[in-house]
């Protein structure tokens, strides 16, 4: 396991568990794909293509991966099917590498901004508030001062839910209740964070894509106001996508990036799907770095996305 020794065992176990459904499905299909074959040939490649597509890697990304494996087969005519897992790890890892995805292993924010302001966006129900709660918990655990801002003022329950997470993670929250102006909440939050000498600010927002113009206006208003309090804020716009919606998540991301600039992605609910291959497709097609993976509903169920760990988990059999 050499390379993977420095990853925490606990994290790896949670990732393996979170990817369980996808792993099981990929392995069953891979086993069928190579049944009775000792070397990687046309048939095996055709089957592999199906495995990747049915795991929601996406057509475009699947074709790229297949082409690369084909090129390896052309170079090495006796590529054994027993090497397929290793080759997949290498090729998918290389692809993620080109997309600059997931180099971190810890919850860190750049020291260049204090406070570092993260605005969290995404459509309803994808897991924004939950992800914010988990992030707050992790940053707090690593010794950071965190402040949350309840700028999703669309529903009373939204503010309440963030309050619950704030108390679980034991971090302060700034809120003005339901119906308040989200930009005003963001303004207050940043001022309060500066006063408290906070390290990280995380702002929740409402996601109503059915009215793109409104959403766009609201998000740009929030951003403008933040920039007034702290120049350059928000430093990160984190788009949360529900990984269990597969290819729809890619489409959602495309729509969202039209509404506002997105600098990072969080993919949630990976634990609830056998189609975790979407992580590869999203990384490759959107070229926006995936920073976090949601692998369950609990406080500890958010991981810093690391391509090596991910590829290793996905294409390794559990011993």
Ligand X SMILES: Nc1nc2c(ncn2[C@@H]2O[C@H](COP(=O)(O)OP(=O)(O)OP(=O)(O)O)[C@@H](O)[C@H]2O)c(=O)[nH]1
Give the residues lining the site for ligand X (CB under 6 A): 122, 124-130, 152, 158, 161, 207, 268-269, 271-272, 294-297, 301
Task: Round to whole Å and give the CA distance between 220 and 224.
Answer: 6
Rounded least distance, CB 207 to Mg ion, Å: 8
Rounded least distance, CB 210 to ligand X, Å: 12
Which of 65, 132 has the CB closer to ligand X?
A: 132
Residue spans of alpha helices (H) in the chain: 9-18, 20-33, 42-54, 59-75, 84-98, 128-141, 156-169, 182-195, 212-229, 247-259, 278-286, 307-314
Does residue 129 belong to the site contacting Mg ion (CB under 5 A)? yes
Rounded least distance, CB 155 to Mg ion, Å: 8
**Closest residue to ligand X, Cβ-based?**
294
Count of H helices and E strands in the chain?
A: 12, 8
Give the β-pairing of 302-304 and 290-294. Answer: antiparallel
Tokens of 173: 């929250």
**Closest residue to Mg ion, Cβ-based?**
129
Q: Pick from 229, 115, 213: which is nearest to 172 by CA? A: 115
Tokens of 39: 């070397």
Task: Round to whole Å and give the CA distance between 100 and 95.
Answer: 9
Which of 44, 295 has the CB closer to ligand X?
A: 295
Task: Round to whole Å and give the CA distance between 319 and 309.
Answer: 16
Which of 83, 160 has the CB closer to ligand X?
A: 160
Report what 297 binds from ligand X, Mg ion, none; CB cut-off 5-8 Å by kind.
ligand X
Which of 71, 156 has the CB closer to ligand X?
A: 156
Task: Round to whole Å and give the CA distance between 143 and 136.
Answer: 11
- The dihedral region occupied by 6, where left means phi > 0, alpha psi between -120 and 50, and beta the remainder, is alpha
Report what 49 binds from ligand X, Mg ion, none; CB cut-off 5-8 Å by kind.
none
Which of 246, 294 has the CB closer to ligand X?
A: 294
Rounded least distance, CB 91 to ligand X, Å: 27
Q: Which of residues 139-178 bind Mg ion (CB under 5 A)?
A: 158
Report what 81 binds from ligand X, Mg ion, none; CB cut-off 5-8 Å by kind.
none
Rounded least distance, CB 178 to ligand X, Å: 12
Rounded least distance, CB 120 to ligand X, Å: 8
Rounded least distance, CB 69 to ligand X, Å: 31
Query: How many Cα neighbours within 13 Å face the side chain of 229?
Result: 26
Tokens of 44: 């095996």
Report what 207 binds from ligand X, Mg ion, none; CB cut-off 5-8 Å by kind.
ligand X
* List of residues contacting Mg ion (CB under 5 A): 128-129, 158
């Amino acid at each position: 396991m050499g390379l993977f020794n420095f990853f925490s065992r606990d994290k790896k176990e949670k990732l393996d568990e979170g990817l369980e459904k996808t792993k099981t499905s990929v392995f069953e299909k891979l086993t069928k794909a190579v049944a009775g074959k000792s070397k990687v040939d046309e048939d095996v490649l055709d089957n592999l293509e199906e495995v990747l597509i049915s795991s929601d890697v996406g057509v475009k990304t699947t074709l790229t991966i297949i082409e690369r494996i084909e090129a390896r087969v052309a170079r090495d005519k006796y590529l054994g099917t027993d090497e397929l897992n290793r080759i997949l790890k290498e090729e998918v890892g290389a692809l993620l590498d080109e997309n600059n995805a997931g180099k971190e292993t810890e919850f860190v924010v750049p020291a260049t901004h204090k406070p570092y302001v993260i605005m969290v966006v995404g459509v309803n129900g994808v897991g924004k508030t939950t992800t914010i709660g988990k992030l707050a918990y992790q940053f707090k655990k690593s010794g950071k001062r965190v402040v949350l801002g309840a700028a999703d003022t669309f529903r009373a329950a939204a503010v309440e839910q963030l309050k619950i997470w704030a108390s679980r993670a034991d971090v302060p929250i700034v809120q003005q209740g339901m119906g308040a102006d989200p930009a005003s909440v963001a303004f207050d939050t940043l001022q309060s964070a500066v006063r408290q000498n906070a390290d990280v600010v995380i702002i929740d927002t409402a996601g109503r894509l059915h009215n793109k113009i409104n959403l766009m206006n609201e998000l740009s208003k929030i951003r403008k106001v933040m920039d007034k309090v702290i120049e350059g804020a928000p430093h990160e716009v984190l788009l949360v996508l529900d990984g269990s919606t597969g290819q729809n998540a890619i489409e959602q991301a495309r729509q969202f990036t039209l509404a506002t600039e997105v600098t990072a992605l969080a993919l949630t609910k990976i634990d609830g799907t056998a189609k975790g291959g979407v992580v590869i497709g999203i990384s490759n097609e959107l070229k926006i770095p995936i920073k976090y993976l949601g692998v369950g509903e609990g406080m500890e169920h958010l991981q810093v996305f690391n391509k090596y760990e991910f590829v290793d988990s996905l294409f390794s059999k559990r011993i």
